[in-house]
Amino acid sequence: MDRTLFQEEHNIFRDAVRKFLEKEVVPFHEQWEKDGICPRELYQKAGEMGFLCPWLPEEYGGSGVDFLYSTIINEECVYARNSGFMMGLHSDVVVPYIFSFGNEEQKKKWLPGCASGELISAVAMTEPGAGSDLASIKTTAVKDGDDYIINGQKTFISNGILCDVCVVAVKTDTKADPPHTGVSLIVVEAGTPGFEKGRNLEKIGMHAQDTAELFFEDCRVPKANLLGDEGMGFIYLMQKLQQERLVCSIAAQAGAEQVLKDAMKYTKERVLFGKPLSKFQNTRFKLAEMATEVEIGRAFVDRLIVEHIAGKNVLTETCMAKWWTTEMLKRACDEALQLHGGYGYMMEYNIAKDFLNARVQTIYAGTTEVMKEIIGRQMGL
């Protein structure tokens, strides 16, 4: 598909991002997968190049550019098979909370470091007993003079080991009715007494990306770290989910494109019964189906990118895109792995990692089932 979103300056930027990833990420990614984490210095290198939070105004360390630049970064990370260096999470999911809901003092304190890579961010919502149902979180923040005392536990937190600043969803009013009106967002800085990072969780995929448990035990945080107003945390989270789910859709779409490209290359080269695998009808049919779904996904995702940049409310549509593109990626990986035969089951082939890394995408940022539930409610069902 001939994409009309980008101008020449975007193409130049894409080339720079691609070269950066080829130099700083691709050669080392396999080692990071073994380590279960990427080096924090990588964030500073990206910050020096202007690849972190490029949408931030210049006064906070950004370049003041549009979301297309974030789109390019997220796509190129996928094309490079970077599953550990979470630029999209940092720049386009977490930092926007601070920018949109923080006061001027908070913005000046944290945003420049986020743009430079000196500060790595995370958002802590999920708990052992609360995932998509954020209103049921148990972590509490109780006022004590000029501070909040936080107690509770979070889990499955991406960037949990590396993070310097963490936007934490807490209950500031445990008796609020309805319950979601008691949720607030508080920024907790690494090194704060009572804030402990647990183990780096072992996952079936995304091995280069640190995912941790976080513990808060009588963790004293200044009231000045509250983002926005008390009791508005749930609303703030809902307001930012449109972009988060769009980022997920962009990544899933790019992943499916890469899987299709590699599957076509492999089936043209693999010889079976004296002819290329691509010359068998079943192979052509499978690849034709994948290509059709990839084209459909690209048209939908690019439309949502344009409408999101224009400031339109496309929350329902991004829920549609999130579940459909991630499920489509799952199907593409499964079909491509099958076309690789036994080699597809070997970790030395990219499709094996693609298959494992794709599985979580229908789960994080809202499961497929939750996406459909939201869509159904928006339809008045």
Count of CB atoms situated within 10 Å of the CB of 215: 17
**Beta-bridge mates of residue 185:** 169, 227
Domain range list for the chain: 8-119, 122-230, 235-378
Average pLDDT, 10 consecutive residues per value, the chain (381 residues):
89 98 97 96 97 98 97 98 95 97 98 98 92 84 97 96 98 91 97 97 96 98 97 93 96 98 97 95 98 98 97 96 98 98 95 97 94 95 92
What contacts 168, CB < 8 A, 6 or more positions away? 123, 124, 139, 150, 154, 185, 186, 187, 188, 214, 216
Contact 285, 335 (CB under 8 A): no
Question: What is the spatial distance between Cα 36 and Cα 374, in angstroms, rounded to a whole number?
Answer: 34
Please tell me the predicted confidence (pLDDT) of residue 129: 83
Which CATH topology does 235-378 take? Butyryl-CoA Dehydrogenase, subunit A; domain 3 (1.20.140)
Residues 6+ apart with CB under 8 A from 27: none
Instruction: Scan for tokens 């513990």, then name that residue.
Output: 215
CATH architecture for residues 122-230: Beta Barrel (2.40)
pLDDT at 1: 66
pLDDT of res. 355? 97
| CA–CA gap between residue 65 and residue 37 (Å, rounded) | 30
Domain 8-119: CATH class, spelled out: mainly alpha
**Bridge partners, residue 240, by sequence:** none
User: Which letter does DSSP use for residue 94 in this model?
Assistant: I
127 Cβ contact list (under 8 Å, min separation 6): 137, 138, 139, 152, 153, 154, 155
Give the C-alpha distances (Å, rounded to integers) separating 92 from 79, 99, 128.
18, 11, 25
Q: What is the pTM of this model?
A: 0.94
Phi/psi at 347 (5° precision): -65, -15
pLDDT at residue 136, rounded to an integer: 84
**What tokens were used for 207?**
């091995």
- The closest of 42, 79, 15, 18 to 260, measured between CA atoms, is 79
Is 244 one of the catalytic residues?
yes
Query: Which of 244, 257, 293, 317 is flagged as catalytic?
Result: 244
Cβ density class 156-179: b for 16+ within 10 Å, e for less: bbbbbbbbbbbbbbbbbbeeeeeb
